[in-house]
Amino acid sequence: MKPVEALRLLACGALLVAAAPSTRAEGTFEIPAGAHFNKDKLAKLGDFFRNEVTTGKIPGAILLIQQHGKPVYHESFGVQDVVSKAPITDQTIFRLFSMTKAITSVVAVKMLDEGKFSLDDPISKYIPSFANVKVGIEKKADDGTKTLELVPPNRPPTVLDLMRQTSGITYGFYGDSLVRKAYRAADIYAGDFDLAEFAERIARLPLHNQPGALWQYGHSTDILARIMEIVSGKSLIEVDREELLDPLGMKDTGFFVTDPEKQKLLAMPMPNDSDFRVGRENNPTIPKKMMYASGGMVSTMADYTRFAQMLLDGGTYEGKTILSPKAFKLLTTDRVGAGSGVDRDYFYFPGDGFGFGLGLAVRTDPGNAKPPPPGDLGELKWDGASGCYFVIDRKQDMFFVLLEQTPSERQRIQRAVKQLIYEAMEN
């Protein structure tokens, strides 16, 4: 395609790139590298979100699709807050919830690559109280009642277990297992505490399963963050800034929003949809000692775009190496698939067709659905309880980031948005 023709197409709002030769096998679900976006089909995204807003399901949202380093689609809908009615912009601040884990994991992999700690290190090397941790095994009596038997772990839980969510450390706000009930009964979120104290609270609780046996979503990332503090001699936010946020220029990403002017930029959910169901308060305007590496950060589209582009580019951003090729491979290689010994239960949140690396879901196969959900092998993704969601598709040289605050509508919206995005692709 001639440069003049390309510029004309860009001026019309469509991003067209010459399609590279297809490498897909006949009948597979992959879209060939170089697929471009049909602007008329992308317009369906606007129709979708405007309906969500006008029907009162969400206050608003912002979506960015970026390919080959340039925005393909970049629109905001509704308002950041139905009370103030302020518009959503790239500077609107969103609570990320579990998309925080992606940031923590990248920083941890960087430190791992720098030799600050090892995947094989037992947690107890850094937090001695974990040497005494027990595993809770449910026993069922003849009358149907359940009791919890505490047994020693088959092996010590390690840094690898923390990073791939196989430590046995869980959450207490979903599920009804006896260990999860023990988490709820322990009131682990009470008071004003820091990561050091929180790690001690977790160490006093039983593991949900033997280390390495089951992908079990939980506070593993927070314990990992405590190790990051210990080996660096710095607070988590200092480590995050030094290793990632400052090099990427993510100036509005952090754990708290104390500036009154910045507080006016906070996105809020619908008043009847404000329960994020994570077992703890998440108000970034009230500074506390605890910085939840598993779900406590806030960010903006302007900031998270930089993070996503870095992942799309394999660990580099605007000439800066954030992750070495070795570190990027560590981050994005599936570690819970065949031969890993890791089981998956109903609460395997990466979902059908996805494995899990050192903090990100990695697409490894089409999955069992017919037809398969859209996307390419090697896709990286994660989301959070507030509805924020990102997908990195390196085969298409494309990512998208969706920021919203809607705990009850998020899964439906995320599925619909991804479907619409891939339906707008043409070979």
CA–CA dist 148, 206 (Å, integer): 9
Average pLDDT estimate for 189-218: 97
Residue 275 pLDDT grade (very low, low, confident, very high; cuts 50, 70, 90): confident
pLDDT tens profile 365-377: 999 999 999 999 9
CA–CA dist 158, 162 (Å, integer): 7
Burial class (CB in 10 A: 0-12, 13-18, 19+), 340: middle
Name the nearest CA neighbour of 54 among 77, 36, 35: 77
CA–CA dist 172, 178 (Å, integer): 10
Which domains, from first to last, does the chain contain?
11-109+252-426 (3.40.710.10), 118-232 (no CATH)
Structure tokens belonging to residue 230: 């210990």
pLDDT recorded at residue 34? 65
pLDDT tens profile 286-318: 999 999 999 999 999 999 999 999 999 999 999
Does 404 have pLDDT greater than 60? yes
Does 407 have pLDDT greater than 80? yes
H or E stretch at 82: none
pLDDT tens profile 335-366: 999 999 999 999 999 999 999 999 999 999 99
- For 93, list phi and psi in degrees, rounded to 5: -100, 125
pLDDT recorded at residue 143? 87
pLDDT recorded at residue 14? 37
b or e along 40-67 (b: 16 or more beta carbons within 10 Å of the residue's beta carbon)? eebebbeebbeebbeeebbbbbbbbbbb
CA–CA dist 237, 243 (Å, integer): 10
CB 138, CB 178: distance < 8 Å: yes
pLDDT recorded at residue 33? 57
Does 420 have pLDDT greater than 70? yes
Does 6 have pLDDT greater than 60? no
Angstrom distances, CA of residue 7 to CA of 4, 69, 352, 396: 5, 16, 40, 21
Does 2 have pLDDT greater than 50? no
Residue 258 pLDDT grade (very low, low, confident, very high; cuts 50, 70, 90): very high
pLDDT recorded at residue 282? 85
Beta bridge partners of residue 404, listed in sequence order? 61
Structure tokens belonging to residue 144: 């149907």
Secondary structure letter of residue 207 according to DSSP: B
pLDDT tens profile 64-107: 999 999 999 999 999 999 999 999 999 999 999 999 999 999 99
pLDDT recorded at residue 8? 40
Q: Kindly report whether the global pTM for this prediction surpasses the value 0.85.
A: yes
Structure tokens belonging to residue 251: 């100036």
Beta bridge partners of residue 140, listed in sequence order? 146
pLDDT recorded at residue 427? 80
Secondary structure letter of residue 122 according to DSSP: B
Does 134 have pLDDT greater than 60? yes
Residue 189 pLDDT grade (very low, low, confident, very high; cuts 50, 70, 90): very high
Name the nearest CA neighbour of 305 among 73, 21, 105, 117: 73
